[in-house]
Amino acid sequence: MSLPVYPDQFPAEVMTVVVAALRGTMPDPKHAAHCVWAAVGYGLGKTLLDPVVTASAPLDAAAAADVLEGCCGKEGAFPGFNINWATVIPALLALLAKLLPLLIGGA
């Protein structure tokens, strides 16, 4: 079974939603969850393809938001360069765990 390759770039407006969700300002939990899930996949694609990624202590939500926001491109694409995704992905997964009860509850 072959899975599709993750894209080289990620829409900056989607990453803006992810950053807002990490900071606790998300008007629509369903939309936020979809954006965060996509960011996890994108980050995993970058991590699995980069043999020099080293595991470090995971970042908390605020620090992960700062890292992602600092990398948002102005041309409409989030390049995702120079991010140690191994430190960011745990914060994204924790956010998904917080969002899940909101989705199941119909919020």
pLDDT single digits (tens) 37-59: 999 988 888 877 666 666 678 89
Bigger pLDDT: 102 vs 96: 96
Place of tokens 């993750």: 6
Does some domain include residue 2?
no
* Domain count within the chain: 1
Does some domain include residue 5?
no
> Rounded to whole angstroms, how far apart are CA atoms 98 and 42?
20
Q: Does residue 107 register a pLDDT over 60?
A: no
> Rounded to whole angstroms, how far apart are CA atoms 79 and 62?
20
Q: Which domain holds residue 20?
A: 10-104
> Rounded to whole angstroms, how far apart are CA atoms 3 and 11?
21
Cβ atoms within 10 A of the Cβ of 99, count?
20
Does some domain include residue 1?
no
pLDDT for the residue numbered 47:
77
Three-class secondary structure of residue 10 per DSSP = strand
Q: Does residue 90 register a pLDDT over 90?
A: yes
